[in-house]
Amino acid sequence: MNHIGRRVAAVAALAALGVGIAAFAGVGRPDEANGQAAAGTAPTGITVTGMGSVEAAPDRAEFSFGVESQGETAGAALDANNAAVQKVIDAVKAAGVASADIQTQQVSVYPRYSDDGQAIVGYSAVNTITAKIADLANVGPVVDAAAAAGANQVYGPMLSIDDQSGFYQDALKVALEDARAKAKAIAAAAGVSLGAVVNIVEGGGSVPVYAEAAQDSAGGGVPIEPGLQEIQATLTVTFAIS
């Protein structure tokens, strides 16, 4: 092999060696070989779940008012029902329920059969509306007005809290203190010192839970015991340790 040939072979050998070294480095530290720093390990700490709750009195009630009408044909039953339920809607509005708080829930028409079940003898139509009553003191007048207007099906109340945001924030504070107390107990048992909060994850939203009734009736023709509802919050918290 001449002098030039020997120089070309040497350069090729060095190039091949460089490729092998790079490949070995990529296997040993793949993240850095790809231009990325290796991710750090998760910080050492204590992770606990804290629960918090506060109680508040419901301030809204929802009722369902239904009207059932009959007719020889489906159309006749529905026409009669339309007129009847409109009277109920007008009465509920006159009793103080806003139009935005009244909603049609269900409309149905079905046949009525003879005693032996062999022949259709007429039809029944049912229309049900829901009414949200913003003032519990107005429950009695609204229910009385709906019944007087022809509502022959009344269901409720479904009690709720109009604005839960402030109560939920209070429940979150209680949940954080609960988590801290649990973490302190674990740290003491493990013989370590509890540090600062390093991570918090909110777990779910507020869930109203019915508790013992604690207030007088709302008055009016229909006694309502609003009781209390429990607003819950959950936090998963990680504390540093040393």
Report residue 139 as tokens.
């429950």
Q: Which of 4-18, 28-42, 185-199, 214-228 has the highest mean pLDDT?
A: 185-199
Report residue 121 as tokens.
């003898």
pLDDT of residue 203: 85
pLDDT of residue 28: 40
CATH architecture assignment, domain 60-160: 2-Layer Sandwich (3.30)
The answer to whether 45-57+164-241 and 60-160 have equal CATH topology is no
CATH T-level assignment (fold) for domain 45-57+164-241: Translation Initiation Factor IF3 (3.30.110)
Question: How many residues are recorded in the chain?
Answer: 242
For the cut 50, the answer to whether the pLDDT of residue 169 exceeds it is yes
* Closest C-alpha among 236, 240, 233 to residue 173: 233
For the cut 70, the answer to whether the pLDDT of residue 144 exceeds it is yes
User: What residues contact residue 70 under an 8 Å CB cut-off, 6+ apart?
Assistant: 77, 80, 112, 122, 123, 124, 125
pLDDT tens-digit readout, 36-49: 434 455 557 999 99
Query: Taking the domains of the chain in order of start, what are their residue ranges?
Result: 3-33, 45-57+164-241, 60-160
User: Residue 215's pLDDT band (boundaries 50, 70, 90)?
Assistant: very low
Range 9-30 average pLDDT:
39
Mean of per-residue pLDDT scores for the chain: 82
pLDDT of residue 225: 81
For the cut 70, the answer to whether the pLDDT of residue 198 exceeds it is yes
For the cut 80, the answer to whether the pLDDT of residue 18 exceeds it is no
